[in-house]
Amino acid sequence: MDDEAQTAWTDAGQPGLARRLGLATATAMVVGEVIGVGIFLTPAEMARTLGSPAWLIGVWLVMGASALGGALAFGGLAARYPEAGGIYIYLREAYGPRVGFLYGWVSMLVTDPGLTAFLGAGMAAYVAHLVPLPGWGLKAVAVAAIVAMAAVNMLGASIGSGVLRILAGLKIGLLAFLAVWGFASGRGDWSNLEPFWSQRPGSAAPLPAIGMGLILAFISLAGWWDASRISGEVRDPERTMPRAFLLGLSIVTALYIGVSLAFLYLVSPANLSANPNDEAFAAMAGQSLFGRRGEMAFAAVVVISVAGSLAAVLMAFPRVYYAMARDGLFFASYAAVDPGRGAPVRATIVQAVLGSALVLLLDSPARIIAYFMVPTLAFLVPAVAAVFVLRRRSARRGEPGIVVPGYPVAPLAFLIPVTLVIVLQAAREPGTAAFGAGLVAAGLPASLLVPALRRRMDSEQNQSSEPGSDLPGEI
Q: Which of the residue ranges 281-285, 414-418, 434-438 would you say has the lowest mean pLDDT?
A: 281-285
pLDDT of residue 423: 83
Quote the pLDDT of residue 382: 93
Please state, in angstroms and rounded to a whole number, the distance separating the CA atoms of residues 128 and 303. 10
Query: CB neighbours of 75 closer than 8 A, spacing ≥ 6?
Result: 241, 242, 243, 245, 246, 404
pLDDT at residue 467 greater than cutoff 50? no
Query: Which of 7-21, 248-262, 266-280, 360-374 is the least confident region?
Result: 7-21
Spatial separation of the C-alpha atoms in residues 181 and 297, rounded to whole Å: 14
Q: Which of 8-17, 61-70, 341-350, 459-468 has the highest mean pLDDT?
A: 61-70
- Lowest mean per-residue pLDDT among 32-41, 207-216, 412-421, 451-460: 451-460
Per-residue pLDDT tens for 241-261? 888 999 999 999 999 999 989
Looking at residue 277, its pLDDT comes to: 63
**In the chain, what percentage of residues exceed pLDDT 70?**
87
pLDDT for 154 equals: 87
Q: Could you give all domains of the chain from N- to C-terminal order, each with its CATH number?
A: 23-455 (1.20.1740.10)
Q: Are 20 and 235 in contact (CB under 8 A)?
A: yes
Greater pLDDT, 141 or 79: 141
Q: For residue 406, what are the CA distances in angstroms to 67, 76, 221, 392?
A: 13, 11, 21, 17
First to last CA, the chain: 42
Q: Rounded CA gap, 324 and 326, in Å? A: 5
In this model, does residue 447 exceed pLDDT 80? no
Write b or e for each residue in 355-393: b if 16 or more Cβ atoms lie within 10 A of its Cβ, otherwise e: bbebbeebeebeebbbbbbbbbbbbbebbbbbbbebbee
DSSP SS3 for 96: coil
Q: How confident is the model at residue 110 (pLDDT cuts 50, 70, 90)?
A: confident
What pLDDT score was predicted for residue 285? 76
Task: Identify the pLDDT of residue 426.
Answer: 80
Question: Does 13 have pLDDT greater than 50?
Answer: no
Higher per-residue confidence, 13 vs 226: 226
What pLDDT does 468 receive?
47
Of 174-178, 203-207, 240-244, the least confident? 203-207
Cβ proximity of 42 and 34 under 8 Å: no
What value does the mean pLDDT of the chain take?
A: 82
pLDDT at residue 455 is higher than 80: no
What's residue 411's pLDDT?
93
pLDDT category of residue 94 using cuts at 50, 70 and 90: very high
Predicted local distance difference test score (pLDDT) of residue 471? 43
* Residue pair 178/301 in contact by the 8 Å Cβ criterion: yes
Write the burial class of residue 460 (CB in 10 Å: 0-12 exposed, 13-18 middle, 19+ buried): exposed
The β-bridge relationship of strands 8-9 and 15-16 is: antiparallel
Q: Is the pLDDT of residue 463 over 70?
A: no
Residue 352 has pLDDT above 50, yes or no: yes
**Mean of pLDDT values over 13-35:** 79
Which of 33-42, 89-98, 249-258 comes out lowest in average pLDDT?
A: 33-42
More confident residue, 6 or 25: 25
pLDDT tens-digit readout, 359-412: 888 777 666 667 667 777 889 999 999 999 999 998 888 887 788 888 899 999
Q: Using the predicted structure, report yes or no on whether residue 275 has a pLDDT greater than 90.
A: no
Centroid of chain to Cα 133: 28
